[in-house]
């Protein structure tokens, strides 16, 4: 099994790469710059990939060549807008950056890998619930991050419909809170407190294995589905 994972150098992306490596996947690990932890995994490093930049398409395609991918995990994302408590404080240039990386970056990644997909391939979009599926959020803030993830959900539903005739399955996965450096920085800000402060939050490799199980379960009957870390499914 061959897979591409974006945002692979740390956090959940690194956890997914580790889980895949442990299960025998041949992993292309794409990121802007590798980390010592990623370098130690023995996966194929694809550095210089900033999904927010149009040049990412060429970088990904050059790295893949004619290799056929079974799984693509679009994970790369940023969260800047957590730092603003109110709409008055919110800097729209930060919101634009979040859309550029989180939403457009995922579309760009899919465009890059389409020539390498085949009937039976799976495309995974890492997303969040965060009030983006018609729910009222439990807390405010993180405007750009959560809005951009809402865009990812819409993209995933549209993409699944288009790729269905090609036999390529699509799933949006919300991993829930994960104990990562980014989550710790957000918590340390004192502006947002995620579930990590209450414990029971998985480390990246544990969360990566949950994501991998949900990838394994995906088939053409469940394409276009949105699923969270508990297994709750939105068709």
- Rounded to an integer, the average pLDDT of 167-182 is 83
Looking at the chain, the whole-number percentage of residues with pLDDT higher than 90 is 73
> How much is the pLDDT for 102?
97
∠41-47-48 over CA atoms, to 5°? Answer: 160
pLDDT band at 197 (very low <50, low <70, confident <90, very high): very low
pLDDT tens-digit series, residues 41-73:
999 999 999 999 999 999 999 999 999 999 999
pLDDT score at 207: 92
Q: What is the pLDDT of residues 90-101, one digit of tens each?
A: 999 999 999 999
Domain range enclosing 155:
2-234
Number of domains composing the chain = 1
pLDDT at 150 over 50: yes
Q: Would you state the pLDDT for residue 188? A: 47
CATH number of the domain where residue 81 is located: 3.40.50.720
Q: Is the pLDDT of residue 232 over 70?
A: yes
């Amino acid at each position: 099994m061959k897979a591409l994972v974006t945002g692979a150098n740390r956090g959940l992306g690194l956890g997914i790469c580790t889980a895949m490596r442990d299960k025998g996947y041949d992993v292309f690990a794409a990121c802007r710059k590798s980390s010592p932890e990623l370098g130690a995994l023995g996966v194929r490093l694809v550095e210089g990939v900033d999904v927010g930049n149009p040049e990412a398409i060429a970088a990904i395609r050059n790295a893949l060549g004619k290799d056929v991918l079974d799984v693509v995990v679009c994970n790369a994302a940023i969260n800047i807008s957590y730092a603003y408590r109110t709409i008055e404080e919110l800097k729209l240039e930060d919101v634009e950056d979040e859309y550029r990386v989180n939403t457009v970056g995922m579309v760009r990644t899919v465009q890059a890998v389409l020539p390498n997909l085949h009937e039976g391939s799976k495309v995974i979009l890492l997303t969040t619930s965060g009030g983006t599926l018609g729910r009222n959020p439990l807390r405010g803030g993180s405007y750009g991050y959560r809005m951009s993830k809402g865009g990812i959900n819409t993209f995933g539903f549209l993409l699944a419909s288009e790729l269905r005739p090609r036999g390529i399955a699509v799933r949006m996965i919300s991993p829930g809170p994960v104990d990562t450096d980014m989550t710790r920085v957000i918590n340390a800000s004192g502006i947002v407190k995620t579930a990590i402060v209450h414990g029971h939050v998985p480390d990246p490799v544990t969360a990566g294995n949950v994501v991998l199980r949900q990838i394994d379960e995906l088939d053409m009957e469940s394409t276009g589905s949105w699923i969270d870390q508990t297994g709750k499914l939105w068709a």
